Amino acid sequence: MRTLTIETLELPLARPFVIARGARTAVPVVRVTLTEDGVSASGECSPNARYQAYPDGICRQLETLRAAIETGLSRQQLGRLLPPGSARNALDCALWRLEGALRGQSLWQLTGRTPPAAGAIVCAQTLSLGPAASMASAAAEAVGGGARLLKIKLDRQQILEKVAAIRASAPRATLIIDANEAWAGVDLASLFAALQTYGIAMIEQPLPAGQDADLLRCVHPIPICADESCHSAVDIAGLRGRYDMINIKLDKCGGLSEALAMVAEAKLQGMRVMVGCMLGSSLAMEAALPVAIDAEFVDLDGPLWLAQDAAPHLQYGQGQVSWVPLAGAQLTANGGA
């Protein structure tokens, strides 16, 4: 017999996280734990208001499936019962981990992926939106700690001034930009040309989802990545011509199962892959690592923003994320990260 436990937690942030849509000082997460034959396994999701996802709604979705879950619901059945999104993500990842625990296998083994020999993956460090000087200071601090890939959160204010200040503080770092849908009405062709001079490697979601047809006619020397415009594998074919890349997030697509399907579909459509995250703990990030090895850019730095992380936790340092197999989750201090 399998048992299901659902809990909601509020994880305080070590410092405010600011993007074009607003600021956050804490992140709510929903954790699902499955126990079967004496072993337990967990999954975590981070409901996001941008996708009309809230903790109480996630818990209600999961409760409607309690009887099916506790009588042996499979990942394949789950994909037919819940839409892409946070609730499916938490349960899908818990089911993957439960299978691994029962078989004595890791997510790498279950998915048929081979982890990098070095045991670590280059990971972006996000620069929260703020004044140019503070963002430049954050960039200098990040590269001083070994960061090699910086993700710059921007709105439509002082775009070039902020990028110039960050580039001056991090002359050798790879820079990618996330506009979070904020550049509607901006002269994109001129902006893209100007940003090219700063060696920007990628721009994520410049226009609002559903309002991005202008990208079909816009020459962009810098690759453009779909985030809010791309939720699951069925979206990918329709994005060709607008975007060069997709950002796979487990909370958007509904878990590791759909994320793997998105990787396969992206390859079929000739599109490149990024793997990203919502704010959350190592429990959420570790589930995305089998996808990260197929990604050109990896943005799984959510735990670095937390005042506390889930233990056993991923290791962040020298611009990389490394791991040990995770099981249950406990909170431990994040060392002021």
Shared domain check, 154 and 66: no
Is residue 31 over pLDDT 90? yes
267 within a domain of the structure (yes/no): yes
pTM exceeds cut of 0.75? yes
Shared domain check, 164 and 99: no
Answer yes or no: 249 catalytic: yes
Is residue 334 over pLDDT 80? no
Mean pLDDT across 174-179 = 98
Angle between helices 188-196 and 159-169 (to 10 degrees): 10
Shared domain check, 297 and 231: yes
CATH number of domain containing 89: 3.30.390.10
Shared domain check, 301 and 155: yes
Could you give the percent of the chain with pLDDT greater than 70?
96
Shared domain check, 198 and 81: no
Q: Which of 47, 72, 105 is the last residue of a domain?
A: 105
CATH number of domain containing 201: 3.20.20.120
Shared domain check, 130 and 51: no
Mean pLDDT across 25-46 = 96
Output the pLDDT for position 335. Answer: 38
How much is the mean pLDDT over the chain? 93
331 within a domain of the structure (yes/no): no
Shared domain check, 146 and 252: yes
Q: Which of 105, 134, 169 is the last residue of a domain?
A: 105
Q: What is the pLDDT of residues 209-231, one digit of tens each?
A: 999 999 998 889 999 999 999 99
- State the residue range of the domain holding 209: 120-322
Shared domain check, 157 and 61: no
CA distances to 93, 238, 246 from 99, rounded to whole Å, are 10, 34, 29
Tell me which of 151, 162, 249, 252 is the catalytic residue: 249
70 within a domain of the structure (yes/no): yes
212 within a domain of the structure (yes/no): yes
Shared domain check, 202 and 134: yes
Output the pLDDT for position 336. Answer: 34
Q: Which of 70, 105, 140 is the last residue of a domain?
A: 105
Whole-angstrom distance, CA of residue 9 vs CA of residue 16: 18
Answer yes or no: 252 catalytic: no
Residues 6+ away with beta carbon under 8 Å from 242: 212, 213, 215, 216, 224, 226, 229
Annotated binding site: 178, 204, 227
8 A C-beta contact, residue 286 and residue 323: yes
Q: How many domains are there within the chain?
A: 2
Shared domain check, 125 and 65: no
Shared domain check, 71 and 189: no
335 within a domain of the structure (yes/no): no
274 within a domain of the structure (yes/no): yes
8 A C-beta contact, residue 180 and residue 20: yes
111 within a domain of the structure (yes/no): no
Is residue 125 over pLDDT 80? yes
Phi-psi region of 284 (alpha: psi -120 to 50; beta: other; left: phi over 0): alpha
Q: How confident is the model at residue 119 (pLDDT cuts 50, 70, 90)?
A: confident
Whole-angstrom distance, CA of residue 59 vs CA of residue 45: 11
Is residue 59 over pLDDT 90? yes
337 within a domain of the structure (yes/no): no
Mean pLDDT across 25-37 = 96
Shared domain check, 257 and 157: yes
